[in-house]
Structure 1
Amino acid sequence: MAKVDYSFLEFSSNLQRYLSYYPINEFEFFYESIGISYDEINGFLPRGKFFLSEDFSSYDVACALWEFGFPWEKLGVLCKEKDSVFTRSVSEVNECLLRFKEYEFDGIMIIGVCLAFPFVFRRECELRGEVEALFDVLRTVFLDYELVKFVDGNVDAWFDVCRKIRVFYDLGCARGNMGELLGRSKNVLLEYTEEMLVKKVEFFRKLDVPKEEIGLFLLSKTDVFEFDLESRCFSVVGILKYFGLEIEKLKSIKKNYPYVLGRNKIANLPHVVRSLGLNEWFFDRMTNGDHNLLGTYVIGSPDEDLDTCYTEYLIKIDSLRLPAHALCKLNFLHSIGFGETKLTTKALTTMNGSSAKLQDRFNFLLSCGIAFPNLCKMIFRRPKILDQKIELLDQKVKYFCGDMGYSLQSLDEFPAFLNYDLDTRIKPRYRFHMWLIENNLCKKKYAFTNIISSSEKRFIALIYRMHPAAPKKWLASFYKNPGDSIL
């Protein structure tokens, strides 16, 4: 309105003239009214259309759902689903709703199910069996195990219960008997919030075990939901002993994984055992009857595995220019399994970047196929590998495994490779190495790590021993940059 020229007599005509050039998009108001946030609206707007009269299909479907009893402001939940209900005709929507009633659910229960599981409206034939299986599960929980007696008869209550069921449904925990499991554990659906259920699921998902096994475990050992899995501290050696790890394995861990030792927060326990390669052992212990150990464990004494150097470093952090930034990075290291020890603070002082960027780079290297324990060890040996942008890491991993033909296991053994410049160090030296081989000048075998890691002076001495003319060829045809420092 501020853009319209105002005058008492001509305002009406000015407004009409303005709107003829800049029409109000009625679809924006429609989608915002059904619960789509303003920032997301552009993804739903039809191209080249401004008025509902140009395309009544979505509006008609919304009206049909509202007449059935769906809250108007919650219809946006259905709109966000791939091949959503808004791509269907009103007759198709009514047909679906009638079919859902065949499962002996009343209208409010159906609305709760549809809002929590929007895929039930999708067209794909292969989903028909999945939808039927879902309603069979829900009928077992709602009716056979009488959950209906404990839920208030309103849409919000049923939507809340169905969202909790969705948490376990998405885990795929033996959907054939999922109804029985949920029915016997219906107290979980009634006593805990969705947020609490999600937190417990996320805790065990970090163990990197099959997600369906996590669902079965949680529904069969419901007392786990009472455990404090966030704020408690634990000693790494102490909790492994408590869970019965053999003495010889403990000795091996102390020798090979010193950066994991010390104390940590219980919220980081899954990644601690995963960084030791013990995640499956740990989960097996809990599923086989020892899950209560997770709830009853306490640190033996106030001084158990307490690193005084680490506590002194925490005091120093307060005097830094950006203490919160340093603490976030420290928490990142703890979250991937590093203990509260001097070794962790040493790694922290050499790492650059925010905790979010460090996490993104860590996740990327995991997605490349590097095993979790190996990646943690690589970071311990060369913390600065996480200083680089994902694009650079991607290029180096691809060159290492593709052009150079080495395996990721070789990268585990030589993490410093990721620290060197690809164009000025890695590529020219490797190409020269291949030239030496092609010209039969490599009379003596040497490790590929020497090709990359040697300083310029040592590298020239190395190739001179192969052939006196090799340095001249290197400098003339391959050498690019006098700088030979690690990034």
Structure 2
Amino acid sequence: MVALLTMFTNPILSSPSSCCCSSSITLLLHPPIPLTTVHFSLSSVSAFHPHEWFSISKFSKASRNELKPLFPQLGLRPTKHISIQCSCINSPTNLHTDIGILFPFFRELGLEDRETELVLDKNPTLALTSLDSIRARVRSLLSLRIDSLTLSYLIIKCPSVLTAEEIDPFICFVRDELENKIEPMQLKHLLTTADPRFLVGFDKKVKLLLDRGVPSEKIGYVLNHVKLAKAVCLRPIEEIDRTITFFSPYGGIDLIVRRPEILNYNLESQLIPRIGFLLDLSGGDKDATGNVVRRLPMILSYSVEHLEGHVEFLRSFAGLNNQEIFKIFLVFPSVVSASKERKLRPRIEFLKQCGLDSNDIFKFLIKAPLFLGLSFDNLNYKLVFLVKIGYKYRTRDMAMAMGSVTRTSCENLRKVIWLFLSYGLSYSDIVSMSTKHPQILQYNHSSLEEKMEYLIEDMGREVGELLAFPAFLGYKLDERIKVRYEAKKKITGEGMSINKLLTVSTKRFSTKKKEKKFLHAVENLTCDEG
């Protein structure tokens, strides 16, 4: 079949009523001949449409160089008459969509004409796709909560989103089954980085995650915190399954839900070696290794080389062995994120200057691991504060006090000191008390105030008794102090030592209380008989 495609400047065809059709192109059918030929005459057209959906006059004035990106991809040569060879038998032409209509259509989507030319150059299939089909695809993309700005970016960056067959099943799954739980920015990144062919099987991989235990209410969180192209689309479903199985002894699917980024890493080259390193450091203790990973799932984002560097530093500079280092990892796994030179070295050096040996450093770090993680400003403020109230610099007492104040805020520390001063204690009294019981510097100031009020108002004691037994402030007011004081007061009166009152074990305290109640009852009985 031969089709002669000629463009006319017929005023009827230019009327507003013709804006919804491509009647500006007239097809003149001729008797069949072996080859289909389309003659497209540019010279015969001076105007296309009054609404300027597509200005053929502007188009014909463009230089040959400007037309090159568009025409060669369409099989057209920018000559006076253009012939297109079509192999289609069932249709008079393969040009299902008039190219001119695409320009105003894309303008509505926010694309400039030069961007539309680029899109057609990248994806010539658009010219062979019906406008209804393109519109339907646009509506589908918008149904994913993708805004118009993101959509125009997608079309320019990856025009195949408008024509690729794999897109529709993907959209249906995300919209209907996942209920649009994937964020638009995640979809934007996925559709611009992954070839549409790799979207095939996306639904099966997500369903695998659900089948293996990811709660349906958490699947959106998981998918929004991974690199979808890398972790899902480009990864075989078998590897995803093996990754979940591998983590069974270390937290399983719960670990992945807490830290979905784990799925970004390669199982063989990254995850297995990193877990293996921690397992070796623990002496083969899978449970302990799992505890470290559960406490800080982000530890798996660090390479084996990075972990080795921190372990070697603690071994060589702090004098710790592998067992001690792993115990520090257990209480403070974030030590691996601390800079060796900016944080670890100067702080361990400070402990050495305070007279602590390797064993002391280990005990200190187990009790006060935050000493390695707090900011310089935070530690500097507290150090200056301790020096001001009377602690001597570079002493063991100073180190112990620093260990205690790492577990409280600068504001709470200031209020605690002010509270002691308001009750008549001096700086030297505070240093004396905190040297005996460093924890008093880290207790909540409101809790301390309640205990001091009870000591003075209800128990009738002097605040000076705290100098001899500052640990009083560490006991729970309602569960220990009040209960024991009220019980003892009924039996022995009020003149008892607060040290003995609180330090005796619960079992022994209960036994003594029963004995004294019995003796008291016997005495009363004897008196009555007399």
TM-score (norm 2): 0.28
TM-score (norm 1): 0.30
Q: Which has the higher contact order (CA 8 A, sep 6+)?
A: 1
Of structures 1 and 2, the larger Rg is shown by 2
